[in-house]
Amino acid sequence: MLDRIFDLAKINESIIAFSENMKKLYQDYLINEFGVLFTFHSNRIEGANTTLTLNDTKNILNNTYDFDRVVDKNKQREINETINHQNAFKYIFLCVNEDKDIIEIIKSLHQIVGSGIITGAGNYKERENYMVISSGKEIDFTKPAKVSEQMNNLRDKYNGEWQESTVYERAANLHMAIVNIHPFSDGNGRVARLIMNYELIKNNYPPVNINEGQKLSYYSVLEEININTDYENEPLVFDDIKLFNETIQQLSIVTFKNMQNYLKNEFKDN
């Protein structure tokens, strides 16, 4: 654990010390390389993309996909979801140096993710939503009438007590808050992972990508954290996030190492 914390401290120092040219290379890598993986896997985790391959995703985002051959409505929806998610990820980079309200950012991320796909994108849900967990138990999320109140509580915690936490704890708390409140009719998981990465990038830490192959273990960790959570009344009160915190720290280190390897290969080829 101490080695991981030391590695993250060094990574943070390195990113802060980047030259202007290196900052551009780093951001380009995050958007054009990491962003493709993040978009592909985040959509796959939600079941939003069942037919597009990673290569399809790359071609769509590079505008080299054969869009003229698309006639299936489901395929077109998946293409739109891919473009929307990448646009939402790009939006993060417009926010990190601005003093924006956290709720404004969350709503904007949802508006972009759901553009042309989710009715009322960017607005809180009007109908109740629920989830069936691995035990078969049905979880009812925060009632629509209480969403605004709970999101205001999120803002208060983010601007207050969560600022006393580490960056990774704060990022994990943001993620858990969106998952537990489920403020939108759809797209909550994607927004949760986006706002988590917003907090990391804003504070000069590498973002994280949760691979589709890690879906079951990811969900298992979330269920463990929420084993005693009262979703309807106290969604921001959940159990220890230590394991989730450690997981995103490890994934953050992976992102940085992948970036280093990518840039080494780029410079070598050039």
| Tens digit of each residue's pLDDT, the chain (270 residues) | 546 666 899 999 999 999 999 999 999 999 999 999 999 999 999 887 788 999 999 999 998 887 777 656 777 889 999 999 999 999 999 999 899 999 999 999 999 999 999 999 999 999 999 888 888 888 899 999 999 999 999 999 999 999 999 999 999 999 999 999 999 999 999 999 999 999 999 999 999 999 999 999 999 999 999 999 999 889 999 999 999 999 999 999 999 999 999 988 776 655
Six token digits for residue 10: 């060094």
Alpha-carbon distances, residue 194 vs 35, 98, 104, 199, 216 (angstroms): 11, 17, 14, 9, 19
Which CATH number covers residue 93? 1.10.3290.10
SS3 139: strand
Q: How many CA atoms lie within 13 A of 93 on its CB side?
A: 16
Tokens representing residue 233 in the block: 């009344």
Phi first, then psi: give them for residue 125, nearest 5 degrees: -65, 150
Determine the pLDDT at residue 71: 57
Q: How many domains does the chain have?
A: 1
Cα first-last separation, the chain: 37
Q: Let me know: does 88 contact 31? Beta carbons within 8 Å.
A: no
Q: What is the dihedral of CA 146, 234, 223, 218, to 10 degrees?
A: 70
Q: What's the rounded Cα separation, in Å, for the pair 233 and 223?
A: 17
Q: Which domain holds residue 106?
A: 2-269
DSSP string, 202-234: HTT-------GGGHHHHHHHHHHHTTT-BTTTB
